[in-house]
Structure 1
Amino acid sequence: MDTSESSTEPHSATPALAPSPPRRGWRRWAMDTRPLRRPAFRRLWSSTIVTAVGSQLTAVAVPKQIYDITHSSAWVGYASLAGLVPMVVFALWGGAVADTVDRRKLLLVTNIGIAVTSLLFWVQAVSGLESVVVLMVLLALQQAFFGLNSPARNASIARLVPTEELPAANALGSTVMQTGLVAGPLLAGVLIPVIGLPALYLIDALALCVTVWAVFRLPALPPLGEQVSRRAGWREIAAGFRYISLHKVLLLSFVADIIAMVLGMPRALFPQLAAETYASYGEGLALGVLFAGIPVGAVIGGLFSGTFSRARRHGWMVIWAVVGWGLAVAAFGLSRNLWVALGFLAAAGIADMVSMVFRGAILLSAATDEMRGRLQGVFTVVVAGGPRLADVLHGTAGSIFGPRAAVAGGGLLVVAVMLALAATVPALRRYRI
Structure 2
Amino acid sequence: MPRLLVDLAPLEASPAYRRLWLGNALAFVGTQLTLVAVSLEVFALTDSSFAVGMLGLAALIPSVVAGLYGGAVADRHDRRTVALASGAVMWAATALIAAHAWAGVESVGVLYGLVALHSAASGINQPTRGAIIPALVGPALLPAANALNMLTFSTAMMAGPLLGGVLVASVGYAWTYTVDVVTFLAALWAVWRLPSLPPDRSAAPDDVGRGGLSSVLDGFRFLGTRPNVRMTFVADIVAMATAFPRALLPAVGGTILGGGEAAVGVLLASMAAGTFLAGLFSGTFTRVHRQGRGVAVAIAAWGLSVAAFGAVVLWAAPLPDGDPRLGSALAACAACLVVAGAADSVSAVFRTTILQSATPDHLQGRLQGVFVVVVAGGPRVGEMIQGTASAALGEGATLVLGGVLCVAGIALLMRVQPGFLHYDARRPTP
Aligned to 2:299: 322
Distance 1:232 1:60 in 2: 36
Compute the displacement of 1:195 (Å).
0.6
Give the SS at the match of 2:2: helix
Q: In structure 1, give the amino acid aligned to 2:382.
A: A
Aligned to 2:21: 45
Distance 1:197 1:225 in 2: 46
Does structure 2 conserve the Cα–Cα contact (< 8 Å) formed by 1:254 and 1:379? Answer: yes
Q: Pairwise mapping of residues 147-296 of structure 1 onto structure 2 (< 5 A)?
A: 147-226=123-202, 227=205, 228-279=207-258, 282-296=259-273
Distance 1:85 1:326 in 2: 28
CA displacement, residues 107-149 of structure 1 (integer Å, 9 cap, x when unaligned): 1111111111100001111111111111111111110100010
Residue 375 of structure 2 corresponds to residue 399 of structure 1: no
Give the SS at the match of 1:310: coil
Q: Identical aligned pairs, as a percentage?
A: 43
Distance 1:34 1:309 in 2: 12
Q: In structure 2, give the amino acid aligned to 1:104.
A: R
CA displacement, residues 203-225 of structure 1 (integer Å, 9 cap, x when unaligned): 11111111111111112111113
Does structure 2 conserve the Cα–Cα contact (< 8 Å) formed by 1:164 and 1:310? Answer: no
Distance 1:229 1:338 in 2: 56
Q: In structure 1, give the amino acid aligned to 2:171.
A: I
Compute the displacement of 1:236 (Å).
0.2
**Deviating 4+ runs (over 4 angstroms):** none
Distance 1:183 1:82 in 2: 24
Distance 1:230 1:194 in 2: 53
Give the SS at the match of 1:219: coil
Does structure 2 conserve the Cα–Cα contact (< 8 Å) formed by 1:302 and 1:353? Answer: yes
CA displacement, residues 224-249 of structure 1 (integer Å, 9 cap, x when unaligned): 13314244300000000000111001
CA displacement, residues 173-219 of structure 1 (integer Å, 9 cap, x when unaligned): 01101110110000111111111011111111111111111111112
1:109 paired residue among 63, 73, 85: 85
Distance 2:216 2:210 in 1: 10
Distance 1:361 1:45 in 2: 17
Does structure 1 conserve the Cα–Cα contact (< 8 Å) formed by 2:98 and 2:177? Answer: yes
Distance 2:346 2:399 in 1: 21
Query: TM-score, normalised on structure 2?
Result: 0.93
Give the SS at the match of 2:301: helix
Compute the displacement of 1:79 (Å).
2.2
2:345 paired residue among 343, 350, 353: 353
Compute the displacement of 1:277 (Å).
2.2
Residue 13 of structure 2 corresponds to residue 32 of structure 1: no
Q: Structure 1, unaligned stretches of length 5 or more?
A: 1-25
Q: In structure 2, give the amino acid aligned to 1:292.
A: A
Distance 1:413 1:325 in 2: 11
Does structure 1 conserve the Cα–Cα contact (< 8 Å) formed by 2:250 and 2:261? Answer: no
Does structure 1 conserve the Cα–Cα contact (< 8 Å) formed by 2:59 and 2:119? Answer: yes
Distance 1:424 1:224 in 2: 33
CA displacement, residues 297-353 of structure 1 (integer Å, 9 cap, x when unaligned): 010000000000000011000000000100011111111411111111000111011
Does structure 2 conserve the Cα–Cα contact (< 8 Å) formed by 1:94 and 1:147? Answer: yes
Query: TM-score, normalised on structure 1?
Result: 0.92
Distance 2:7 2:415 in 1: 31
Does structure 2 conserve the Cα–Cα contact (< 8 Å) formed by 1:101 and 1:230? Answer: no
Give the SS at the match of 1:220: coil
Q: In structure 2, give the amino acid aligned to 1:290.
A: L
Residue 42 of structure 2 corresponds to residue 66 of structure 1: yes
Compute the displacement of 1:44 (Å).
0.9
Q: In structure 2, give the amino acid aligned to 1:98.
A: A
Does structure 2 conserve the Cα–Cα contact (< 8 Å) formed by 1:171 and 1:305? Answer: yes
Aligned CA-pair RMSD:
1.0
Aligned to 1:427: 419
Does structure 2 conserve the Cα–Cα contact (< 8 Å) formed by 1:35 and 1:168? Answer: yes
Aligned to 1:299: 276
2:366 paired residue among 357, 364, 374: 374
Aligned to 2:60: 84
CA displacement, residues 137-164 of structure 1 (integer Å, 9 cap, x when unaligned): 1111110100010000011111011212
Compute the displacement of 1:425 (Å).
1.1
Q: Structure 2, unaligned stretches of length 5 or more?
A: 317-328, 426-430
Q: In structure 2, give the amino acid aligned to 1:333.
A: G
Distance 1:144 1:218 in 2: 23
Q: In structure 2, give the amino acid aligned to 1:32.
A: D
Aligned to 1:6: none
Residue 115 of structure 2 corresponds to residue 139 of structure 1: yes
CA displacement, residues 378-401 of structure 1 (integer Å, 9 cap, x when unaligned): 000000001111111111111110
